Amino acid sequence: MNAFDALNIFYREDVISDFLKHCFEDSRDFLNQFLALVNLKIDKNHNYKVINRLGLGKSIGTPDMIIYETNKQVPKIIVIENKLGTGEGVKQTLRYEAELAQHKILRKLGLETAEFHFIFLTLDTTVLPGSSKFKRVHYSSFLNNNFNVNNLTLNRLLEDFKNKLSAFYMPLKNPGNALTKGVSLDTVQRKICWQKILFENFKDKQNFDISWGEVGGAGRNNFLFLISKPNWKSPKPFEANGLEGTFYIHIDTYINLLGESGNTIKDIGIRFETNPYKPRNQIKNLPGYDKFIENKNNFAVLLNSRLKEVIPESKEKRTSLLTAAVPVNQNSLEDSLEDYYKKVKLIEAVIDETLLSIGHI
């Protein structure tokens, strides 16, 4: 039996971080194979240490792992954020790469200066770090190279870990088949499948800004796929220009990650929000809110009028900041994707026309 199954620890970030720490400490070759993925290396002339969960205070947080050279005038310090079944916390990587965090790390390690590097290690290939300084490494990389350690017991665990990784990524090579042929998938795998499928549909639409994420709540777990365009967003944040002129329009698609059936897209939402997005209860008492809602309502009226002409089955929505919903063919995954792509292109044209008519662009 696989040790990671027996202990139910495959998604335990703290446990896997400790496991990797032992691998890095056991074998410099293993460490350098890993670091080579981001064009880094710790030379054999320098010693190194690995520290997990180095607390930097409440305002910054606790990076999962720090690797640093110990006998070098200007040592490398490598900060690693490890993500398995979850995404990044609020501005987590931005806090870890900030100047204040670097000063605190130097002080805790007893160093005066260092060359900082940042790695975002993730199982989920759909997760993006908030900070551009963090270089992404996927766990699948451990399958593409001859990673081994010296200790026999640790190496047996490493082989079990590779087997778990191989089983995790195998169905993701053909996401459509995995979703429709009854393959047993967990929520992380389902999310990656949907991200691959939806992104593939729009890879030729270079004018689209595409993002995605995971949205949880009581009894629900959804994959959220967002499509917007540069001209669908006010040029400056509302904190600078006020709520009167802010807008952020996007097409959103929610996919249920918990259900085993219904592997199709149910509908497409069109939202009019603030730039940047804030929940309504955080802006409703701010100056200019009434004007913002008036702008949203005016947009909704014009949008729905035109949308009904090109997609008769579309429905006007007035809940929260949702303006319209467009149903999608649910006969099969193939039919759903074909209908989805066609309707997104129609919605794009209607949004552009609506914004032109109300003078936002």
In tens, the pLDDT along 34-93 reads 999 999 999 888 899 999 999 999 889 999 999 999 988 899 999 999 998 766 676 889
From the list 268, 127, 124, the residue with the least C-alpha distance to 201 is 268
Cβ neighbours of residue 292 closer than 8 Å, sequence gap 6 or more: 238, 243, 244, 246, 274, 283
Given this model, what pLDDT does residue 218 score? 47
Task: Please state the pTM of the whole predicted model.
Answer: 0.80
Residue 309 tokens, joined: 């002409």
Q: Exposed, middle or buried, 80 (CB in 10 Å: 0-12/13-18/19+)?
A: buried
Given this model, what pLDDT does residue 204 score? 73
Given this model, what pLDDT does residue 259 score? 63
Q: Which residues of the chain have pLDDT under 50?
A: 218-219, 361
Given this model, what pLDDT does residue 260 score? 56
The helix/strand/coil state of 120 is strand
Which residue has tokens 């975002």? 120
Average per-residue pLDDT for the chain: 89
